[in-house]
Amino acid sequence: MELKRVVVTGLGALTPIGNTKDEFWNALIGGKSGAAPITYFDTEKFKTKFACELKNFEATDFLDRKEARKMDKFAQYAMVAADEAIADAKFNLDEVNKLRVGVIWGAGIGGLETFQDEVLNFASGDGSPRFNPFFIPKMIADIAPANISIKYGFMGPNYTTVSACASSANAMFDALNSIRLGHCDVIVTGGSEAAVTIAGMGGFNAMHALSTRNESPETASRPFDGSRDGFVLGEGAGAIVLEEYEHAKKRGAKIYAEFVGGGLSSDAYHMTAPHPDGIGVVAVMQNCLENAGLKPEDVDHINTHGTSTPLGDVAELKAISKVFGSHAKDININSTKSMTGHLLGAAGAIEAISVILAMEHGVVPPTINHTTVDENIDPELNLTLNKAQKRDVKVGMSNTFGFGGHNACVVFKRLD
């Protein structure tokens, strides 16, 4: 069967460097770091005392107070980003066939703060099982797309993909295929996460996964730098409205880009460490190119997973060199995690939005905080270090990899 074409018609972003897609983009181009000392809880006894929290965000500025209380932060963030993306797509909601509009979301953890707080409350009590009646619905990862569909009456496919930090890229690929195959006309997709909590910071610290550069939080996320020492935890949400091309064209929608393909793979190697030869990463990018009908030399820009970990950054760049060969040095490679931190299950969506906006504006955001050369990294690769670079981006790719060896890759093309 002939696959339908899929385009991007709406974007929404709630991030540590901007609470709208425009704020997010301007901060990216300006090389702004979202890292700062944690304000949500006392970090005196924690090895890492900073993160990329949202700034100047109050859920009740966007949501009814009673409704907000029924949601964990990760679901609140999802609602805010989805609202922006749906508004940006400029639908006449009375004319949309809501049976053919779905919500496919990504979350690596879900309601971590809700779970943490309910357990702490129980442990500090007399042993009586007094739990909030909204405990379970606030915690489960699938509640974010459920809330979006309930608000707008979208009755198409509705679920959450969970594949650690690849979750929202998985969701986007599922959404792409659902429209390609003719099952839906429109899908709201993306991801959200809210893991800057006592349990989140404590757990990642116990794994030795986080940077401990407490004396300089704003420079701690430093992908590809020789002195990198771990990732910086972030939070937020990214939402993308995907639409069947003819459906979008018929209603005169603004089209940001065409979503031309994606790929999935597994390292099948280790719970947390990447395969040292990047075999799974090579496979996922090759799968993505094949799925999109593209050649390696078609790609202008790659937003890497690039978490600022000693092993992961090197493995990914080696994989890029293997897949793209001599063309690798002509690609603008970057890692926007240097500014946003790692949004876990929301990372794929936020980084895809960065790629789409780079395509629209002809500028690739920088990889900030680079001061020290890593001798294990090919010096001929253009890592877009420290300053944004002008680039006519016709094809842009985004990589996301999750604990457990889950790999996802998505690619977008400018619609001529």
Q: Are strands 301-303 and 395-402 parallel, antiparallel or unpaired?
A: parallel
The confidence score (pLDDT) of residue 126 equals: 87
Q: Encode 233-249: b = buried (16+ Cβ within 10 Å), e = exposed.
A: bbbbbbbbbbbbbebbe
Q: What are the residue ranges spanned by the domains of the chain?
A: 7-250, 262-413
The confidence score (pLDDT) of residue 1 equals: 77
The confidence score (pLDDT) of residue 322 equals: 97
Do the domains at 7-250 and 262-413 have one common CATH topology?
A: yes
Q: What is the CA radius of gyration of the chain?
A: 20
* Per-residue confidence in pLDDT tens, the chain, 416 aa: 799 999 999 999 999 999 999 999 999 999 999 999 999 999 999 999 999 999 999 999 999 999 999 999 999 999 999 999 999 999 999 999 999 999 999 999 999 999 999 999 999 998 899 999 999 999 999 999 999 999 999 999 999 999 999 999 999 999 999 999 999 999 999 999 999 999 999 999 999 999 999 999 999 999 999 999 999 999 999 999 999 999 999 999 999 999 999 999 998 888 877 887 789 999 999 999 999 999 999 999 999 999 999 999 999 999 999 999 999 999 999 999 999 999 999 999 999 999 999 999 999 999 999 999 999 999 999 999 999 999 999 999 999 999 989 999 999 999 97
Where do we find the tokens 């959200």?
192
Query: In Å, how far are 39, 66, 94, 123, 134 from 118, measured between CA atoms?
Result: 20, 19, 40, 9, 10
Determine the Cα–Cα distance for residues 179 and 129; give it in Å rounded to an integer.
Answer: 45
Q: Which residues of 169-234 form beta strands (DSSP E)?
A: 186-193
Q: Which residues of 184-269 form beta strands (DSSP E)?
A: 186-193, 236-244, 257-266
Active-site annotation holds for 327: no
Which tokens in the block code for residue 137?
Answer: 């619905």
The confidence score (pLDDT) of residue 275 equals: 80
Q: Determine which one of 52, 165, 288, 409 is catalytic.
A: 165
The confidence score (pLDDT) of residue 413 equals: 98
DSSP assignment, residue 251? Answer: T
Active-site annotation holds for 165: yes
Where do we find the tokens 């429209």?
179
Q: Which residues of 62-185 form beta strands (DSSP E)?
A: 101-106, 158-161
The confidence score (pLDDT) of residue 270 equals: 86
Determine the Cα–Cα distance for residues 268 and 110; give it in Å rounded to an integer.
Answer: 24
What is the second-level CATH architecture of the domain 262-413?
Answer: 3-Layer(aba) Sandwich (3.40)
Which tokens in the block code for residue 241?
Answer: 């409205």
Instruction: Give yes or no for a contact between 229 and 372, defined as CB atoms under 8 angstroms apart.
Output: no
CA–centroid distance for 211 within its chain: 20
Tens of pLDDT, residues 111-144 = 999 999 999 999 999 889 999 999 999 999 999 9
Q: Determine which one of 247, 275, 342, 370 is catalytic.
A: 342
Backbone dihedral angles phi then psi of residue 32, each to the nearest 5 degrees = -90, 130
Which tokens in the block code for residue 277?
Answer: 């030869």
Tens of pLDDT, residues 178-196 = 999 999 999 999 999 999 9
Active-site annotation holds for 342: yes
The confidence score (pLDDT) of residue 87 equals: 98
- Name the pTM for this structure: 0.97
Backbone dihedral angles phi then psi of residue 154, each to the nearest 5 degrees = -75, 120
CATH 3.40.47.10 holds for 7-250: yes
Tens of pLDDT, residues 322-347 = 999 999 999 999 999 999 999 999 99
Q: Determine which one of 301, 305, 370, 406 is catalytic.
A: 305
Instruction: Give yes or no for a contact between 342 and 232, defined as CB atoms under 8 angstroms apart.
Output: yes
